[in-house]
Structure 1
Amino acid sequence: MGRSSLVDHAAETASATEIERLADAQDAIAQEHDLSFSQALKLYPKGVLWSIVMSTAVVMEGYDTKLIGTLFAQPAFQKRYGQLVKANSYQILAPWQAGLSNGSSVGQLFGLLIAGYISERYGFRRTMITGLAIIIPIIFITFFAPSLVVLEVGQILFGVPLGLFQTTPVIYALEISPLCLRAYLTNYVNFCWAFGQIIATGILRGVLNLDNQWAYRIPFAVQWVWPVILIPLLYFAPESPWWLVRRGRLEEAREVVKRLTSSRNINFDVEKNIALMVVTTEYERTVNAETSYRACFQGTNLRRTVIVIGIYCIQTLNGNPLRGYSTYFLEQAGLPTIQAFNMTVAGFAVAIVGGFFSWVLLPLFGRRIIYFWSLVLMLIIMVLVGALGIPQAESPKPAYAWAIGSLLLVSSFLYNCSIGPLTNTLCSEIPSAILRSKSIVLARWTYAVTTIVAGVLTPYQLNPTAWNWSAKTGFFWAGGCLISIVFTFFYVPEPKDRTTAELDILFEKKVPPRHFSKTSVDLAEDIYGDEEKKI
């Protein structure tokens, strides 16, 4: 056989393999669409379990986020680190409140950039174990901090591994689950964040009557619990099969898929599932083979990156910083310290209920519809909070303080049944598979920047020694809600019931966001076009 014949034969063999793989991928997509929720749970019981284990690390982020902001309202912490502002009344001054609130966020900026590289190079499992191991010695700094300066250093260092946790669990949850489960598992990440916050508030409420150093050291010490539990568990966790495919380790990917799924399901074809991952990855590489941060801003990836950045920024713009300071805010609005803590605990209990309610909404409505209308409702709530702040500032009454607190409870429920959990779902679904880690890193990085800005503004807005806006701060965040509504209407698409390959094609075809749910996709025709038909 001549050289030209060998080349032709090799090309024909490659084309035949490609066509067969494409056919398998189409079958896998059809199976994904046909799989019901109950069937998916029976097929992926171990996948669900490992996703939950990986996501539990986010409890630490939620705990840390709530811990510092709530300590500002704790008498023992105020007396140890604050300044005397009037008879027997201590306050952490607004500049230090801003610095401590932002310390973790500054560290997260570095952690996020590192996460984008090491998670794609070394895998999600190793990244998480490394981050948890680093956290253990860092906790000693905050636990024994003799001054606000040392506490600030500890917060910054603590934020670096938290940056690893912000992206890895969400991507892992999406990549080890079938289409109909991915929204629930990515939503669960927000549950963990809420769990962390309610645990922090509950512990701080429990030590509120202590008048010594243990009132704030015990809450710091609780942070040691999570690495001790999670490191041994994650050691046995499987790696993401999508990551293994991206690394060219197909045999290992097959073994992981077998490990994640139930062997009793005879209708599931592992080979076709892997074929879909391979076809999706290869198609994305033909569009743009780069996997750097720069690639996130090239071609259609620019549009996808802008969308996920905008969605994460909306987490700040909708008024989350105000809820993060809810204990301190309610105290300044006129509630007694104990009642302010009780309302905050109730707020996070409501948040958990809201998280479960989000699972009820998911099968009934599209992501875009839930997200858009929840922002409209949040705008109304923030306007009402601001409006109540006007008479409260002129003639403070307990009724106003309780009304403001009640509105914050409603906003907490609304956020946690819509905006909060859907942020993780939308931002894990919208990027391409090969740029998913880096796109989410960029989005979270921008979110961390907005959090830092808000962390500077919010203490000044609420602190009586600074601007003293109190509840009128609601008007400020109502403006943020309005910006969020406009962005959502024009930019956020509907990814419900779309595989990664289908979303790739919709973005390549430049389909308007409002038409994503109505546009049909044919994998073979849209990827190969006329060439496929000729074959």
Structure 2
Amino acid sequence: MSIAFDDKTKFGERAQVEVVDNDQTRTASTAARRMSRRGSVLNTTAAPPPNGVLVNSDRAYSVVAETIPEFPDLHDEMRENTEKEVSLGFFKGLKTYPAAAAWSILLSSSIIMEGYDTALLGSFFAFPQFNRDFGRPLPNGEYQVSSDWQAGLMNGAQAGSMLGLFINGYMCDMLGYRKTYFFALVMMVGAIFLPFFADGSIPILMAGQVISGVPWGMFQTLSVAYASEVCPVCLRGYLTTYANLCWVIGQLLSIGVLRGLLSTSGQWAYRIPFALQWIFPPPLFIGLLFAPESPWWLVRHGRMEEAAKVVKRLMSKKEAADEQNITNKLSEMKLTNEHEKALSAGTQYWDCFRGIDLRRTEVATVTWACQNLCGSAFMGFSTYFYQQAGLPTSQAFNFSLGQYALGFLGTIGSWVLMSYFGRRSLYIGGLVFLCLILIGIGGAGFAPPDAVVTQTKRQSGDVQVRVNQDASWAVGSLLLIFTLVYDFTVGPVCYAIVAETSSTRLRQKTIVLARMLYNIVGICNNFLLPAMLNPGTWNWGSKTGLFWAGICFLCIVWCYFRLPETKDRTYNELTILFENKVSARKFKETKVDAFRSKSIAVQQGFGLGDEKPSGGIH
């Protein structure tokens, strides 16, 4: 089938569309409905705007036009939906799409389980009863889990998580979000039995960590991708960054539970925290029974009627009462999907590294890796430095509670900052502040020691460590400030960037690849940081901050040149910007008009960027 457009059609005039199919010719007259206000998508002779025009690929749009006979009408409907969603603020967005926000919050809450357990295991290594049951005796008569097993337990969960990520990339594309989520929840419930009944067997505990890691890996990407697909543009940034808040909530709950069990003796000191994980799945199971499938997933699989029903459920009753609102939203999804199909060869993992998706994959993966490369792993060692300063263990735990409370406040504060500064500015600004804090931490390491601290529970028994207690106080306090800045900026904003830069057709697989790189960097951190801080190995102490300050600076350089601004952009607009290879520094200033066949992205008052546009300049 081919479609012929009248090149002489003028702005605001009636367009004649000739469709030729199986030697039968029929002419359809498309009314000039709303053309005088919006302009015609068939207008190819309109005067170009000043200062250059980035031209969208003619091939992509011709393929879409041949695929969809109602192409012109869909363009008008897509424009109407885009203008409406972008104009909505946060509160109007909640009022217009209340169910979308509610379902996103519910399904993202699964990340609380992972945040809870990751904080749990690391803290168990300081629990006397846990060490007695799973560790071995030290020369001083105490017990400790060996450093090899500690690393194995921490990294076993990471390895299982990477397997879960890989499985999720295929399963979600084939079965959808709801069925994949059900599978992960069932697996999570079963995996909890292993650590709960490990009974002093560290290999069984290790198996439990690996198996638990599989559903954790699935939750890591499911929640972010689902939120990005059910929420409108005005809510997308808030509800994708909610995933970071769930992490903080899980860690806060974990530290609170452990603080309450510090004086508990016997196996229940560590079995109760494991058992509490069974509290999370039941409400999620109930919610999933009623949760809608992602409408974008349904559109990608050609199930338009079901997608329409889901879109209606996500809207308020007043909004859904107007059928045109549902039609406009579906038109945006359908055209965006067809546009991306015309630009990419498929939806396999290797397609993430082809064409314009290569750059999108780079942005998503490196952005998430920067979360682990900016020194964030240092945050977990604030208690360590407070103990060096002479603070009792119970008080050090209290400071840990305060640290995660700051993270909670920081994530909520990031929602306000994002609405003013966007993603790119907030992310880079956060990295700059973190780099300065790390330099301060590293500088404290050069303070001359003024006290001797005895550290126990090591394989070699007691270790005498010379420290500067004032410097240790300073480092611990700087790490609290680091936590606040991190959760105001890099921590939550990363989730929005990763969800928005990936194409809709490759979203799951792109997020999976990004999280895999994050986990690989995390595994490296699990080996490097203890060695850097441990007096028995490298003994860098707080000078370690200088190393991470250098790595953080490299992240800043990459972000300045490669990280684009995605605030207030629809997925179709982002596709056009990536297709035209707009410089990351000019994403924000580039005006995108996705509703003309030739004049697609307009840049006003500046050059076209560092990269040559695929469509050229008219």
In structure 2, what residue type is equivalent to 1:5?
A: Q
SS in 1 for 2:420: coil
SS in 2 for 1:127: helix
TM-score between the two structures when normalised by the length of structure 1: 0.94
Q: CA deviation at 1:471?
A: 2.3
Whole-angstrom CA distance in 1 between matches of 2:424 and 2:292: 32
Is residue 2:58 matched to residue 1:4? Answer: no
Q: 1:418 aligns with which of 461, 478, 489?
A: 489
Whole-angstrom CA distance in 2 between matches of 1:30 and 1:75: 60
Q: CA deviation at 1:391?
A: 2.7
Whole-angstrom CA distance in 1 between matches of 2:445 and 2:113: 33
Is residue 2:594 matched to residue 1:523? Answer: yes
Match of 1:250 in 2: 304
CA contact (8 A) 1:308 1:443 kept: yes
What RMSD over aligned residues (CA atoms) do the two structures have, in Å?
2.3
Comparing 4-13 with 220-229, greater Cα deviation is found at: 4-13
Q: CA deviation at 1:66?
A: 0.9
**Kindly, what percent of the aligned residue pairs are identical?**
43
In structure 2, what residue type is equivalent to 1:141?
A: L
Q: 2:274 aligns with which of 204, 211, 220?
A: 220
Which structure 2 residues correspond to residues 64-83 of structure 1 after superposition, within 5 A? Answer: 64-83=117-136
CA contact (8 A) 1:37 1:180 kept: yes
- CA distance 1:459–1:128, shift in 2 (3 Å): same
Whole-angstrom CA distance in 2 between matches of 1:101 and 1:326: 19
Q: CA deviation at 1:394?
A: 6.4
Q: 2:499 aligns with which of 421, 428, 437?
A: 428
Match of 2:581 in 1: 510
- CA distance 1:24–1:95, shift in 2 (3 Å): same
CA contact (8 A) 2:379 2:480 kept: no
TM-score between the two structures when normalised by the length of structure 2: 0.82
Comparing 424-433 with 18-27, greater Cα deviation is found at: 18-27
Q: CA deviation at 1:483?
A: 1.6
Q: CA deviation at 1:399?
A: 2.9
Which structure 2 residues correspond to residues 271-310 of structure 1 after superposition, within 5 A? Answer: 271-310=327-366
Q: 1:367 aligns with which of 416, 423, 427?
A: 423
In structure 2, what residue type is equivalent to 1:389?
A: G
Is residue 2:394 matched to residue 1:338? Answer: yes
Q: CA deviation at 1:35?
A: 1.7
In structure 1, what residue type is equivalent to 2:147?
A: A
Match of 1:437 in 2: 508
* Bigger helix share: 1
Q: 1:233 aligns with which of 283, 287, 295?
A: 287
Match of 1:204 in 2: 258
SS in 1 for 2:591: coil
- CA distance 1:526–1:479, shift in 2 (3 Å): farther
CA contact (8 A) 1:201 1:344 kept: yes
SS in 2 for 1:391: coil
- Number of residues of Structure 1 aligned to a counterpart in Structure 2: 529
- CA distance 1:339–1:398, shift in 2 (3 Å): farther
State the Cα deviation string for residues 342-376 of structure 1 (Å, max 9, x = none). 11111000100101111110111121111101101
SS in 2 for 1:390: coil
State the Cα deviation string for residues 470-519 of structure 1 (Å, max 9, x = none). 32322222122112111111110000010000000000000000000111
Q: CA deviation at 1:317?
A: 0.6
Is residue 2:526 matched to residue 1:455? Answer: yes
Which structure 2 residues correspond to residues 340-419 of structure 1 after superposition, within 5 A? Answer: 340-391=396-447, 395=451, 396-419=467-490
CA contact (8 A) 1:142 1:154 kept: yes
Match of 2:37 in 1: none
Match of 2:79 in 1: 26
State the Cα deviation string for residues 197-227 of structure 1 (Å, max 9, x = none). 1111111111111232222111111111111
Q: CA deviation at 1:28?
A: 1.3
In structure 2, what residue type is equivalent to 1:260?
A: L
Whole-angstrom CA distance in 2 between matches of 1:328 and 1:216: 21
Q: CA deviation at 1:321?
A: 1.6
Whole-angstrom CA distance in 2 between matches of 1:516 and 1:258: 32
Whole-angstrom CA distance in 2 between matches of 1:298 and 1:2: 33
Q: 1:494 aligns with which of 521, 541, 565?
A: 565
CA contact (8 A) 2:385 2:475 kept: no
In structure 2, what residue type is equivalent to 1:301?
A: D
Q: CA deviation at 1:127?
A: 1.1
Comparing 54-63 with 479-488, greater Cα deviation is found at: 479-488
Q: 1:48 aligns with which of 80, 101, 119?
A: 101
CA contact (8 A) 2:135 2:146 kept: yes
Q: CA deviation at 1:528?
A: 8.4
Whole-angstrom CA distance in 1 between matches of 2:192 and 2:144: 24
Is residue 2:191 matched to residue 1:172? Answer: no
In structure 1, what residue type is equivalent to 2:594?
A: L
State the Cα deviation string for residues 55-89 of structure 1 (Å, max 9, x = none). 00000111122111121222332333334445244
Match of 1:532 in 2: none
Whole-angstrom CA distance in 1 between matches of 2:417 and 2:138: 48
Whole-angstrom CA distance in 1 between matches of 2:436 and 2:378: 15
CA contact (8 A) 1:329 1:470 kept: no
Whole-angstrom CA distance in 2 between matches of 1:415 and 1:268: 42
CA contact (8 A) 1:73 1:337 kept: no
Whole-angstrom CA distance in 1 between matches of 2:169 and 2:121: 27
CA contact (8 A) 2:385 2:476 kept: no
Q: 2:177 aligns with which of 119, 124, 132?
A: 124
Whole-angstrom CA distance in 2 between matches of 1:88 and 1:385: 34
Q: CA deviation at 1:107?
A: 0.2
Match of 1:533 in 2: none
SS in 2 for 1:362: helix
Q: CA deviation at 1:288?
A: 0.9
Match of 1:159 in 2: 213
- CA distance 1:3–1:198, shift in 2 (3 Å): closer
Q: CA deviation at 1:106?
A: 0.4
Give unmatched runs, 5+ long, in structure 1: 530-535
Q: CA deviation at 1:390?
A: 3.2
CA contact (8 A) 2:565 2:584 kept: yes
In structure 2, what residue type is equivalent to 1:336?
A: P
Is residue 2:313 matched to residue 1:259? Answer: yes
* Bigger strand share: 2
Whole-angstrom CA distance in 2 between matches of 1:2 and 1:267: 31
CA contact (8 A) 1:343 1:405 kept: no
SS in 2 for 1:493: coil
Comparing 10-19 with 509-518, greater Cα deviation is found at: 10-19
CA contact (8 A) 2:385 2:473 kept: no
SS in 1 for 2:280: helix
SS in 2 for 1:421: helix
Q: CA deviation at 1:147?
A: 2.4
In structure 2, what residue type is equivalent to 1:433?
A: T
Q: 2:547 aligns with which of 451, 456, 476?
A: 476
Give unmatched runs, 5+ long, in structure 2: 1-19, 30-63, 452-466, 601-618
In structure 2, what residue type is equivalent to 1:303?
A: R
Comparing 218-227 with 420-429, greater Cα deviation is found at: 218-227
Which structure 2 residues correspond to residues 318-329 of structure 1 after superposition, within 5 A? Answer: 318-328=374-384
Match of 2:58 in 1: none
CA contact (8 A) 2:450 2:468 kept: no
CA contact (8 A) 1:333 1:471 kept: no
Whole-angstrom CA distance in 2 between matches of 1:350 and 1:157: 31
Match of 2:152 in 1: 99
- CA distance 1:221–1:329, shift in 2 (3 Å): farther
SS in 1 for 2:553: helix
- CA distance 1:325–1:247, shift in 2 (3 Å): farther
Q: CA deviation at 1:325?
A: 4.3
Whole-angstrom CA distance in 2 between matches of 1:448 and 1:162: 12
